[in-house]
């Protein structure tokens, strides 16, 4: 008999709750990763995230080889893969860390049902957040939909919680199942290597985070987002560190958890407005204008620099994300779902909960969103946050030669946006 630890979005061997518990069990542990074709089939063949996952798994496999074990990597539809694993192995239990996205919840339910049929236990753990699901609620037991009281409650509970146990697996590594599974190449799973690379995270950049984080040219954010997305860092370790060092930074990590619990408790936000009062807005949804926005050809330097940074590197600074998102929804009156889908395709750190949460925030349709009449002026944003044009010149080399005309005039677009929202909102 064996147990499985199924890696999904916590691609690390240390401080991994589910893995720790698997190794504590009475059975040898087979570590598994499945390249899920239901997700992969919609991606470009050189998707940078697939390259990153593959490289990360390769490192994990190398570490496992040291203890004469190896990672079992499968490629296919998850239920079919699990059916064949249940035929091949005598499985006592399946361990994994929970994932709060609607697709993952459905998928995990199917695997749980299959395990039951095969008399195997399923053990699901909280790993990627400090507080999950309905752990932080209002006095009436309902989920928070406003950030600040959520954050206050979160901080109180964090204090009460005391120290977290360290989930160090190293001492238990002999519990891995002895094996020499073949590690696939990217080509074996139908992909090719991307030129875009995930940067290492860097906590030294955030020494003055509260003052510098909004200025893209200062390059003073942590670049943790893809690492949090794929679990190449431990959220617990990071939060414990942030709690001692930097309250502003900690509150950003709490935003991440806020949007995760919103998605879990209100899964409709994935596709629909959180506030249905906004369902009647008559979006212009002009495809030619959308293409200009995607390419970074709006004539507004801050918007264009951001979109080019995204297209070239898979990353965009948060302040600039706010500006480009507001521009799409308000200046162009294109519904947030189009922008959200474009970001989902391009962002290395794409995370459904944060992406949808922030897009709905920018569109004004979200739970704790920017009011509809607040229309960012992209020129003023540029003056405030990149006054010397250092960031924009990095992404728009032709800038000094005279920049193209804005595709839409700000004052007109602002009035049009406010009027359209006013007309569409159900009182």
* Burial letters 2-18, b for 16+ CB under 10 A, else e: bbbbbbbbbbbbebbbb
| Residue 192: C-alpha distances to residues 83, 188, 322, 404 (Å) | 28, 9, 32, 36
Residues serving a catalytic function are 252, 255, 283, 318, 336, 359
Q: Mask: binding to ligand FAD, 40-59, rule CB under 6 A, as x and -? A: --------------------
d(C-alpha 198, C-alpha 47), whole Å? 12
In DSSP terms, 355 is beta-bridged to: none
In the complex, least distance from residue 226 CB atom to ligand FAD, rounded to whole angstroms: 8
Residue closer to ligand FAD (CB basis): 74 or 319: 319
Q: HSE (CB half, 13 Å, CA atoms) of 215? A: 18
Stretch that binds ligand FAD, among 12-20, 61-69, 171-179, 216-224 (CB under 6 A): 216-224
* Burial letters 40-72, b for 16+ CB under 10 A, else e: beeeeeebbbbbbbbebbbebbebbeeeebbbb
d(C-alpha 246, C-alpha 240), whole Å? 10
Crossing angle between the packed helical segments 247-265 and 147-161, to the nearest 10 degrees: 110
d(C-alpha 380, C-alpha 413), whole Å? 15
How many beta carbons lie within 10 A of that of residue 418, not counting itself?
15
Q: Mask: binding to ligand FAD, 168-207, rule CB under 6 A, as x and -? A: ----------------------------------------
Q: Mask: binding to ligand FAD, 288-307, rule CB under 6 A, as x and -? A: --------------------
For position 256 contacting ligand FAD by CB under 6 A, the verdict is yes
Stretch that binds ligand FAD, among 55-63, 75-83, 103-111, 255-263 (CB under 6 A): 255-263
For position 354 contacting ligand FAD by CB under 6 A, the verdict is yes
# residues contacting ligand FAD (CB under 6 A): 27
Among residues 11, 64, 111, 253, the one that binds ligand FAD under rule CB under 6 A:
253
Among residues 144, 230, 259, 327, the one that binds ligand FAD under rule CB under 6 A:
259
DSSP 4: E
Q: Identify residues 323-352 at the interface with ligand FAD (CB under 6 A).
A: 325, 343, 347, 349-351
In DSSP terms, 94 is beta-bridged to: 4, 122
**73 within 8 A of 35, measured Cβ to Cβ:** yes
In the complex, least distance from residue 148 CB atom to ligand FAD, rounded to whole angstroms: 14
Pairing, β 72-76 against β 91-97 = unpaired
Residue closer to ligand FAD (CB basis): 51 or 360: 360
Residue closer to ligand FAD (CB basis): 256 or 275: 256
d(C-alpha 221, C-alpha 246), whole Å? 13
Among residues 25, 69, 246, 358, the one that binds ligand FAD under rule CB under 6 A:
358
Residue closer to ligand FAD (CB basis): 70 or 235: 235
In the complex, least distance from residue 349 CB atom to ligand FAD, rounded to whole angstroms: 4
- Which residues bind to ligand FAD, rule: CB under 6 A? 213, 221-225, 228-229, 252-253, 255-256, 259, 318, 321-322, 325, 343, 347, 349-351, 354-355, 358-359, 362
């Amino acid at each position: 008999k064996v147990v499985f630890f199924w890696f999904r979005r916590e691609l690390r061997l240390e401080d991994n709750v589910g893995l720790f518990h698997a190794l504590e069990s009475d059975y040898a542990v087979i570590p598994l990763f499945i390249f899920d074709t239901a997700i992969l089939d919609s991606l470009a063949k050189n998707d940078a995230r697939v390259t990153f996952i593959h490289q990360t798994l390769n490192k994990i496999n190398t570490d496992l080889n040291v203890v004469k074990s190896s990672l079992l990597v499968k490629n296919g539809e998850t239920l079919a893969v699990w059916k064949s694993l249940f035929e091949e192995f005598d499985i006592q239990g399946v361990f994994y860390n929970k994932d709060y996205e609607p697709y993952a919840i459905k998928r995990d339910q199917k695997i749980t049902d299959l395990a039951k049929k095969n008399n195997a236990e399923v053990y699901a753990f909280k790993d990627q957040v400090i507080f999950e699901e309905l752990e932080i609620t209002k006095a009436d037991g309902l989920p928070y939909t406003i950030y600040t009281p959520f954050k206050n409650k979160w901080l109180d509970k964090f204090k009460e919680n005391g120290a977290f146990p360290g989930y160090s697996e190293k001492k238990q590594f002999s519990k891995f199942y002895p094996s020499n599974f073949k590690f696939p190449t990217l080509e074996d799973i139908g992909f090719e290597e991307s030129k875009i690379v995930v940067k290492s995270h860097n906590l030294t950049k955030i020494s003055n985070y509260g003052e510098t984080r909004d200025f893209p040219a200062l390059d003073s954010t942590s670049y943790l987002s893809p690492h949090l997305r794929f679990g190449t860092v431990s959220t617990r370790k990071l939060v414990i560190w942030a709690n001692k060092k930097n309250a502003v930074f900690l509150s950003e990590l709490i935003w991440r958890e806020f949007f995760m619990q919103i998605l879990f408790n209100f899964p409709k936000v994935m596709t629909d407005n959180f506030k249905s009062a906004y369902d009647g807005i008559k979006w212009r949804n002009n495809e030619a204008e959308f293409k200009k926005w995607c390419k970074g050809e709006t004539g507004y330097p801050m918007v264009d620099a951001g979109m080019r940074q995204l297209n070239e590197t898979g990353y965009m600074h948060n302040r600039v994300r706010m500006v480009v998102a507001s521009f799409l929804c308000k200046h162009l009156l294109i519904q947030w779902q189009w922008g959200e889908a474009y970001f989902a395709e391009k962002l290395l750190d794409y995370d459904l909960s944060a992406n949808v949460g922030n897009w709905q925030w920018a569109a004004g349709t979200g739970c704790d969103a920017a009011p509809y009449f607040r229309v960012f002026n992209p020129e003023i944003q540029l003056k405030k946050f990149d006054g010397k044009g250092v960031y924009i010149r990095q992404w728009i080399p032709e800038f000094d030669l005279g920049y193209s005309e804005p595709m839409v005039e700000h004052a007109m677009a602002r009035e049009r946006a406010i009027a359209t929202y006013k007309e569409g909102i159900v009182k």
